[in-house]
Structure 1
Amino acid sequence: MAKEHHYQQKLIWTGNMGKDTLSYQDYKRDFEIKLPSKATILGSSDPAFLGDPTRHNPEDLFLSAVSSCHMLWYLHFCAVSGILVERYEDQPIGILTEEKSGAGQFTKITLHPTVWIRGSEHVTLAKELHAKANSFCFIAKSINIPVDHLPVIIVVE
């Protein structure tokens, strides 16, 4: 039997500047994401859509969700495979294609993880585990766009 995990949060629009949504320019795109016992995430739309550049936007959060989910599965598979990971960094790139109508969607994500491991005998497996992590990542499995990986493995002695 499948096990279900439920996630819930509260999203609050905080951008009313006193004119409600009278016109497209009369409100801020600011919002807060609140989760019990966690720091509030301050969000806005991308600056290209009149958002606050100092706040996280949905596109940032989406890309971060894919990257961090992949990393967590990858670290798990390294741990159970006997690969000692000293450090992990990723610089994911997401491509969002906007249509003339203003609608749009992500069309591709490429993860660029750099992984520092101990032991040169594990380099091949360390690279291969990225494909396995992708096939287990809850977020990557929930989207219908390709998630590519261009890993760099660095051996630390």
Structure 2
Amino acid sequence: MKQFDARVAWQRAGQPFLDQRYSRAHAWSFDGGLTVPASSSPLSVPVPMSDPAAVDPEEAVVAAASSCHMLFFLSLAAQEGYVVDSYEDQAIGLLDVGPDGRAALVRIELRPAIRFAGRQPEAEALARLHHAAHEKCYVANSLKCAVVVKEA
């Protein structure tokens, strides 16, 4: 078993609290030393209680799914002899009411635009690489919502 650590820290800093108008800004710290500003989404909690410049949990889940898929895709492409020059994904997550009636990310769409050097994969090979990357992706395997790849 592997363990992944993250530290989440928030301080009230003297703000009123019971009126629900406190800042949701906080920090995520990771084992490599990086600290990322985080907040609730302004789509969930209005500014100024949310920080639109910070990463929100929903964006982080979408980015994690995209990143995980990309990392497996790159490895699989290399194994098959394809040289990837660039990979860029404009991923989106859709928040709605889930099957159990609670708010949930109900779908994540990955839209990778991939540039290859030299030999170009046929459509069937590209679909196979995406399918294999999706099957191996730890994040996609951990989510209840659909994670769908749409070639850009």
The TM tier, using the shorter chain, reads 0.7 to 0.9
Q: Alpha-carbon deviation of 1:38? A: 2.4
SS in 1 for 2:77: helix
Over the matched positions of the two proteins, sequence identity in percent amounts to 29
Answering whether residue 14 of structure 2 is matched by residue 13 of structure 1, we say: no
- 1:86 equivalent in structure 2: 85
- 1:107-122 paired onto structure 2 within 5 Å: 107-122=106-121
Answering whether residue 39 of structure 2 is matched by residue 40 of structure 1, we say: no
Q: Alpha-carbon deviation of 1:145? A: 1.2
Distance 1:21 1:111, change over 3 A: same
Answering whether residue 142 of structure 2 is matched by residue 133 of structure 1, we say: no
Contact 1:46 1:52 in 2 (8 A): yes
**In 2: Cα distance, 1:35 partner to 1:66 partner:** 18
Q: Alpha-carbon deviation of 1:86? A: 0.6
**In 1: Cα distance, 2:69 partner to 2:16 partner:** 40
Answering whether residue 26 of structure 2 is matched by residue 31 of structure 1, we say: yes
Contact 1:69 1:138 in 2 (8 A): yes
How far does the alpha carbon of each residue in 1:20-41 deviate from its partner, in whole angstroms, 9 at most, with x for none? 522111x100111112332101
* TM value normalised by structure 1: 0.85
Contact 2:7 2:30 in 1 (8 A): yes
Contact 1:87 1:117 in 2 (8 A): yes
Q: Alpha-carbon deviation of 1:11? A: 0.8
- 1:155 equivalent in structure 2: none
**In 1: Cα distance, 2:80 partner to 2:34 partner:** 34
How far does the alpha carbon of each residue in 1:63-112 deviate from its partner, in whole angstroms, 9 at most, with x for none? 0000000000000100101011111000011100158xxx5100111110
Q: Which has the larger displacement, 69-78 or 45-54?
A: 45-54
Contact 1:77 1:129 in 2 (8 A): yes
Distance 1:38 1:73, change over 3 A: same
SS in 2 for 1:47: coil
Contact 1:83 1:126 in 2 (8 A): no
Q: How many residues align?
A: 145
* TM value normalised by structure 2: 0.87
Contact 1:17 1:28 in 2 (8 A): no
- 2:148 equivalent in structure 1: 148
**In 2: Cα distance, 1:145 partner to 1:95 partner:** 10
**In 2: Cα distance, 1:121 partner to 1:66 partner:** 25
**In 2: Cα distance, 1:36 partner to 1:149 partner:** 30
